[in-house]
């Protein structure tokens, strides 16, 4: 996957919308639940996230010794173009991702994050324009409450199993995860669907019936 032109792929995805990608996964591959549950929210509804997943997993943990905490090390290992995908194992009280993590991640080339858990410093993250999906906000720091235990490993995000390198695409409708072996074919097919839907919109403006348009363009 290293020979992929990730910036170009990201720009192509960002011209699309998540429902079209979900439709491709449904119709072409019978992958009906590659999108996260509705509890994950975009911090900014006008931003989109697109990039291969860099996965991180943490657990509730009372360790405060900074020499035994992996967080900053993980941030420093991010690669250009990745989306951080953070599995907290259902931890419900802690802001595991904050402003400084966002700044460090961006400096390392990370283009956004999907955190299945809590974030904090929310106003600062929003003001900085760092694209983020999250489950809840919480003021408490991770130190003494949660600790990263692994990264670049399979994780569970919003009910979806996500592997390192799977493609993350998010907009105001939600987040979808495309298996890494399907990134290009799904992208091409989603572009075709979006082009067809543009023609259907034009047909509606011309007073054609939606039923006939669906039949004409094979969307019935």
Q: Is residue 208 part of a domain?
A: no
Q: Is residue 120 part of a domain?
A: yes
Give pLDDT tens digits for 172-203.
999 999 999 999 999 999 999 999 888 878 87
> What pLDDT is stored for residue 93 in this prediction?
94
List of residues 6+ apart from 216 with CB closer than 8 A? 203
Other beta carbons within 10 angstroms of residue 100's beta carbon come to 14
Q: Is residue 56 part of a domain?
A: yes
Instruction: State how far Cα 156 lies from the chain centre.
Output: 12
> What pLDDT is stored for residue 220 in this prediction?
57
DSSP structure class, residue 158: T
Q: Is residue 55 part of a domain?
A: yes
Q: Is residue 119 part of a domain?
A: yes
Q: Is residue 32 part of a domain?
A: yes
Q: Residue 30: helix, strand or coil by DSSP?
A: coil
Listed as ranges, residues in the chain with pLDDT below 50 are 1
DSSP string, 7-64: HHHHHHHHTS-HHHHHHHHHHHH--TT-B--TT-EESSTT--EEEEEEEEEEEE----
Q: Residue 39: helix, strand or coil by DSSP?
A: coil
Inter-residue contact 110 to 83 (CB < 8 Å): yes
How far is residue 126's CA from residue 104's CA, in Å, rounded to a whole number?
15
Q: Is residue 203 part of a domain?
A: no
> What pLDDT is stored for residue 214 in this prediction?
72
> What pLDDT is stored for residue 206 in this prediction?
78
CATH code of the domain containing 163 = 3.50.30.40
Give pLDDT tens digits for 114-125.
999 999 999 999
> What pLDDT is stored for residue 170 in this prediction?
98
DSSP structure class, residue 144: T
Q: Is residue 209 part of a domain?
A: no
Other beta carbons within 10 angstroms of residue 71's beta carbon come to 21
Task: Look up residue 169 and give its two tokens.
Answer: 């695409």
Domain count, the chain: 1
Range of the domain at 143: 6-179
> What pLDDT is stored for residue 66 in this prediction?
73
């Amino acid at each position: 996957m290293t020979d992929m032109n990730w910036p170009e792929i990201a720009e192509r995805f960002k011209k699309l919308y998540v429902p079209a990608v979900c439709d491709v996964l449904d119709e072409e591959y019978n992958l009906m639940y590659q999108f996260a549950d509705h509890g994950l929210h975009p911090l900014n509804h006008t931003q989109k996230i697109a990039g291969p997943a860099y996965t991180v997993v943490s657990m509730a943990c009372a360790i405060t010794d900074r020499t035994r905490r992996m967080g900053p090390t993980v941030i420093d290992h991010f690669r250009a173009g990745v989306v951080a995908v953070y599995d907290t194992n259902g931890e419900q009280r802690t802001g595991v991702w904050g402003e400084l993590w966002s700044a460090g991640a961006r400096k390392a080339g990370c283009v956004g994050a999907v955190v299945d858990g809590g974030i904090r410093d929310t106003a600062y993250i929003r003001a900085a324009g760092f694209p983020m999906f999250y489950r809840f906000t919480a003021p408490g720091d991770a130190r003494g409450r949660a600790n990263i235990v692994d990264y670049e490993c399979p994780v569970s995000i919003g009910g979806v199993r996500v592997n390192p390198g799977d493609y993350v695409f998010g907009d105001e409708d939600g987040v979808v995860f495309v298996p890494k072996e399907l990134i290009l074919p799904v992208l091409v097919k989603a572009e075709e669907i979006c082009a067809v839907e543009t023609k259907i919109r034009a047909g509606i403006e011309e007073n054609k019936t939606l039923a006939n348009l669906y039949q004409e363009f094979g969307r019935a």
